[in-house]
């Protein structure tokens, strides 16, 4: 073989006339290039059934294992083996960590602006539009990342306990923690239902460990949660906070339910053990929906997301997602005992004995626990109930202005429902470290798709038809605002709730018409301003039966 050294002394020059040498050089070059690609993408030989990798257009593949619908015990095993920080707490729950993002990122949510749904969506800071091309870029980025992972997890579940209205959801992710979380939060199909599951109605691609490209049109950061109502897909990049998947499903329900004449609601629900009739508790994260719905005197229907249909109400989820900060068996015994094997504890700290230190907020104040709803002893399975007799709006007043409990007229109920005054409490969103006043329409503004009036009209119609009573309960501060007053105790709030549901409040006779089951008059619930006597204020909360009086 004829060779000449270059002046750099690093490469061999091969003359094209030397056929053998040229062939050898080409073989070495191709082999070397393949090794570079192999290192960059961690390609491994696998079966034909696995996903293709598209980053380099190669026919070789990276995914060697695809695990579908694993039981909790297997997901525990995978988490301990493959997630460096995962562990098992002494109570049996899987402890996992979501990384940098320990709360939702509402400013990074995008909805595809499509001709079919463009006129339905309430565009603005809640639903920030993106074009189809941007969605496809992020979707492909997510798929490319997932296809470089050694193993993937797929979970199929249902959203909605009413079989007439349920949504088939498929979750594809790279972390067993995320698979177990959605196994907990969605309704778990039976073996027979899995065999006939078929094509899902909604798919979540969770590539949260991989960032979005902030140079992509419309991206504000390396985090992006993109929803296409037409493709019925959710793409997650740049955040491993599991709550984004849960709320993505709820957002989809918030679009399709009103389109079918159903009212989707950000509320918890309980049912009377004798009559089966329900009560609803509306409120944003941190107002007490989950805690107050764990009432031993009533059946639990669900803690966060429900739909009101012509047949009654039903839960969207198959699990509960409770705040774990300062959790004790004395204050919240039902939730405390529910955090056991099969549950997920998120961003908590363990002590030397592997017990959970629920007071430790060194990682985040938004520590959370997710558990199947049947872990609550008095849960109503299936999670359906009759029409509500009472609707309670929970508000966390950070300024100490609102009374602990108020009875609302129909007009005032619509005012509070649309305005949705509350306070964001520490940890529920990234960057929130102390209460901040906010107005969240329908007590679920971050998850609405239609204009708030769409949900208000449906609520007004159902309130009128089923003669539901409405109350405003303050779970925030009394005697002054945050830093001056004192937060109303859970014990007192529970006493108020019990009195509301049993109608044992001492309501002035002139105002009892707003709390009775009598049919409301022809008042326009959406346009008539509330009268002065439509708000009843309680100034004493220490008695077993709270006293309620009209304002002066």
Give the DSSP letter string of 340-376: STT-EEES-EE-TTS-EETT--SS-S--EEEEEGGGS
CA distance 168 to 232: 11
* Residue 217 tokens, joined: 């049109």
What is the H or E stretch that residue 135 is in? helix 132-146
The pLDDT, as a whole number, for residue 434 is 76
C-alpha pair distances (Å), 36 with each of 12, 33, 39, 41, 534: 20, 5, 5, 9, 73
- Coil, helix or strand for 395? strand
C-alpha pair distances (Å), 193 with each of 69, 253, 294, 388: 12, 21, 29, 30
Q: Is the dihedral of CA 213, 84, 343, 67 positive or negative?
A: positive
Per-residue pLDDT of the chain (552 residues; tens, 9 = 90+): 444 443 333 445 767 677 777 767 766 665 566 455 445 544 444 443 444 444 434 434 589 999 999 999 999 999 999 998 999 999 999 999 999 999 999 999 999 999 999 999 999 999 999 999 999 999 999 999 999 999 999 999 999 999 999 999 999 999 999 999 999 999 999 999 999 999 999 999 999 999 999 999 999 899 999 999 999 999 999 999 999 999 999 999 999 999 999 999 999 999 999 999 999 999 877 788 888 888 889 999 999 999 999 999 999 999 999 999 999 999 889 999 999 999 999 999 999 999 999 999 999 999 999 999 999 999 999 999 999 999 999 998 988 889 999 999 999 999 999 999 888 766 556 666 677 888 889 999 999 999 999 999 999 999 999 999 999 999 988 888 888 889 998 889 999 999 999 876 655 555 455 454 433 333 333 333 344 333 444 433 333 333 443 333
The pLDDT, as a whole number, for residue 55 is 40
Q: Are 307 and 313 in contact (CB under 8 A)?
A: yes
**In the 8-state DSSP scheme, what is residue 300?**
E
Q: Tell the CATH topology of 384-549.
A: Phosphoenolpyruvate Carboxykinase; domain 3 (3.90.228)
The residues annotated with a catalytic role in the active site are 104, 247, 266, 285, 289-290, 304, 368
The pLDDT, as a whole number, for residue 30 is 57
The phi and psi torsions of 323 (rounded to 5 degrees) equal -70, 140
Count H helices and E strands in the chain, helices first.
Answer: 11, 32
The pLDDT, as a whole number, for residue 325 is 93
Number of C-alpha atoms within 13 angstroms, CB side, residue 327?
28
CA distance 424 to 285: 8
CA distance 552 to 533: 9
Domain edges within the chain: 384-549
* Residue 537 tokens, joined: 């204020």
Q: Are 263 and 254 in contact (CB under 8 A)?
A: no
Distance between alpha carbon 176 and the CA centroid of its chain, in Å?
18
Q: Are 175 and 81 in contact (CB under 8 A)?
A: no
């Amino acid at each position: 073989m004829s060779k000449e050294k270059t002046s750099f002394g690093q490469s061999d020059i091969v003359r094209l006339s030397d056929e053998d040498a040229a062939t050898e050089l080409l073989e070495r070059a191709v082999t070397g290039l393949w090794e570079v690609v192999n290192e960059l993408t961690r390609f491994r030989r696998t079966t034909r059934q696995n996903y293709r990798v598209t980053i380099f257009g190669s026919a070789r593949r990276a995914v060697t294992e695809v695990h579908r619908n694993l039981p909790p015990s297997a997901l525990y095993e995978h988490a301990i083996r493959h997630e460096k920080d995962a562990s098992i707490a002494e109570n049996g729950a899987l402890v996992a960590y979501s990384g940098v993002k320990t709360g939702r990122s509402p400013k990074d949510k995008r909805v595809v602006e499509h001709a079919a749904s463009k006129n339905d969506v309430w565009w603005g800071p809640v639903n920030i539009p993106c074009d189809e091309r941007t969605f496809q870029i992020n979707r492909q980025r997510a798929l490319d990342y997932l296809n470089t992972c050694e193993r993937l997890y797929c979970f199929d579940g249902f959203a909605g306990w009413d079989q007439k209205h349920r949504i088939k959801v498929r979750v594809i992710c790279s972390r067993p923690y995320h698979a177990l979380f959605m196994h907990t939060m969605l309704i778990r199909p039976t073996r027979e239902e899995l065999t006939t599951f078929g094509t899902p109605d909604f798919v979540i691609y969770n590539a949260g460990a991989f960032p979005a490209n902030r140079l992509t049109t419309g991206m504000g950061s390396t985090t992006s949660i993109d929803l296409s109502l037409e493709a019925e897909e959710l793409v997650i990049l740049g955040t491993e906070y599991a709550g984004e998947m849960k709320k993505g499903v709820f957002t989809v329900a918030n679009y399709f339910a009103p389109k079918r004449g159903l009212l989707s609601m950000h509320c918890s629900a309980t049912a009377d053990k004798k009559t089966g009739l329900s009560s609803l508790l509306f409120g944003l994260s941190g107002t007490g929906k989950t805690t107050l719905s764990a009432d031993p005197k009533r059946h639990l229907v669900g803690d966060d997301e429900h739909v009101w249909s012509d047949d009654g109400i039903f839960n969207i989820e198959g699990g509960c997602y409770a705040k774990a900060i300062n959790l004790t068996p004395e204050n919240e015994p039902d939730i405390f005992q529910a955090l056991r094997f099969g549950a997920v504890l998120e961003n908590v700290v363990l002590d030397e004995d592997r017990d959970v230190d629920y007071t430790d907020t060194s990682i985040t104040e938004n520590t959370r626990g997710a558990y199947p709803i049947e872990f609550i002893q008095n849960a109503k399975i299936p999670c359906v109930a009759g029409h509500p007799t009472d609707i309670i709006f929970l508000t966390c007043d950070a300024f100490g202005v609102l009374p602990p409990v108020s009875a609302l007229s129909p007009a005032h109920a619509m005012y509070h429902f649309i305005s949705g005054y509350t306070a964001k409490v520490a940890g529920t969103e990234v960057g929130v470290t102390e209460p901040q006043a906010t107005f969240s329409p329908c007590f679920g503004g971050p998850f609405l798709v239609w204009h708030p009036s769409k949900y208000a009209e449906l609520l007004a119609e159902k309130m009128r038809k089923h003669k539901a009573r409405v109350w405003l309960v303050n779970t925030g501060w009394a005697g002054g605002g945050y830093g001056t007053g004192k937060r109303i105790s859970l014990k007192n709030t529970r006493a108020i709730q019990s009195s509301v549901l049993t109608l044992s409040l001492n309501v002035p006779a002139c105002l009892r018409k707003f709390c009775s089951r009598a049919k409301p008059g022809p008042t326009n619930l959406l346009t008539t301003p509330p009268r002065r006597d439509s708000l009843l204020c309680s100034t004493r909360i220490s008695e077993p039966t709270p006293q309620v009086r009209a304002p002066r």
